[in-house]
Structure 1
Amino acid sequence: MTQVLTDRYFVLTGGPGSGKTTLIEALGAAGHAVAPEAGRGIIRHQVAISGPALPWRDPALFAELMLAWEMRSHEAARDKTGPVFFDRGVPDVIGYLRLTGLPAPAHAEEAAKNFHYNRMVFILPPWPEIFSQDGERRQDLAEAQRTYEAMVETYTACGYRLVEVPRAPVEERLRFVLEMVRQGHESSAAQ
């Protein structure tokens, strides 16, 4: 896949409960192509079938399904035009494994090398005022903070430049992300 194509792919990452999904939904509502988060989808599907690939049952199997989901989302983005916004990306799987104390298998590391995104990755910091738990999000705020730190470490190690999205109402976050994408597009076109 050419780098020009994947320069249109923008990841939003961070810990749970930081507003990623709300921002992704706002981007979709504004007419942009989006790719939903793997984790929540997998949890919903596994719960519906009493499956074993749940983070509280088998974190390694859960990670494998997340990796497959993220690679499929990446491939599906080829058919979309303009920027595509991903609620997490392939490197998130490595960060998740590190967070759980499991080693990242060689094939996950290889996937992170082969499935590229724009070098500018949006990271949403922990936000205690909006954090909440639910049936799919069982992590507490301390684990959300550790997840954020794992994503900072992982994406930085993979060569991405992190841009922190400010804690602000979703409309402001939406404007911030779109302005950063526009500025990045203009600076790469000028080169």
Structure 2
Amino acid sequence: MMQHVILSGCSGGGKSTLLNELACRGFETVPEPGRRIIALEREGDGSALPWVNMEAFARRALEMAARDKLQVKHESEWQFFDRSLIDAAVALESASGEVIENTLAAFPRYYEKVFMTPPWFEIYSMDMDRVHGFEEAVGEFDRLVVAYNRLGYEVIHLPKIYVQSRADFVLRLLR
């Protein structure tokens, strides 16, 4: 049975670190589309960088997340996604006004429980790919929580604990 589990939430909240921990434990994982798009855009003309054209970036993220969902090999009981189609649809709605439910109508749902990394100022950091500040990250988090609830997912806020304990927490709730 396919169990696509989403790790979503605040930028810089530890999603990728948690994804890496789950991969080390043998689970199938899918990295965040946003970071991959930024890397591709830096090699190209940069027209779909989020700070250049958020709508173009969100559309690319939607396409990549859709491909990711179809291409997962299902070699483990759970497959973990760093962000999702829903995150891309939230970004697209914010940038263009396109309604999330319309954007997602053709796509199958993910597992019912979504794990959200909360805003965590102490670990938040900007880098060359994350150029927005903490306040913008919190705004993004708030939009995501509202959207996931609106779509009927069970939103579980991850505790601010060490990554190994976070992974244990996630796996305990999936059993």
CA shift at 1:127, angstroms? 0.2
CA shift at 1:139, angstroms? 1.2
Paired positions, count: 175
User: What's 1:42 paired with?
Assistant: 37
CA shift at 1:56, angstroms? 1.2
User: What's 2:48 paired with?
Assistant: 53
User: What's 2:58 paired with?
Assistant: 63
| Separation in structure 2 between the aligned mates of residue 142 and residue 19 of structure 1, nearest angstrom | 16
Q: Is the 8 A contact 2:115 2:158 kept in 1?
A: yes
Q: Is the 8 A contact 2:15 2:82 kept in 1?
A: yes
Structure 1 counterpart of 2:22, which letter? L
User: What's 1:173 paired with?
Assistant: 166
| Separation in structure 2 between the aligned mates of residue 96 and residue 41 of structure 1, nearest angstrom | 16
3-state SS of paired residue (1:50): coil
Structure 1 counterpart of 2:129, which letter? E
Pick from 15, 19, 23 the counterpart of residue 24 of structure 1.
19
* Structure-2-length-normalised TM-score: 0.93
Where does structure 2 lack aligned partners over 5 or more consecutive residues? none
Structure 2 counterpart of 1:133, which letter? M
CA shift at 1:111, angstroms? 2.8
| Separation in structure 2 between the aligned mates of residue 109 and residue 13 of structure 1, nearest angstrom | 20
Report the CA distance shift for 1:154/1:113 in structure 2 as closer, same or farther (over 3 A). Answer: farther
More helix by share: 1
Where does structure 1 lack aligned partners over 5 or more consecutive residues? 183-191
Structure 1 counterpart of 2:43, which letter? A
User: What's 1:124 paired with?
Assistant: 117
Pick from 75, 96, 99 the counterpart of residue 91 of structure 2.
96
Q: Is the 8 A contact 2:89 2:103 kept in 1?
A: no
| Separation in structure 2 between the aligned mates of residue 72 and residue 80 of structure 1, nearest angstrom | 17
> Is 8-17 or 88-97 further displaced after alignment?
88-97
| Separation in structure 2 between the aligned mates of residue 113 and residue 150 of structure 1, nearest angstrom | 22
CA shift at 1:105, angstroms? 5.8
* Structure-1-length-normalised TM-score: 0.86
Dislocated runs of 4+, deviation >6 Å: none
Structure 2 counterpart of 1:180, which letter? L
Structure 2 counterpart of 1:91, which letter? I
Identity of aligned residues (%): 31
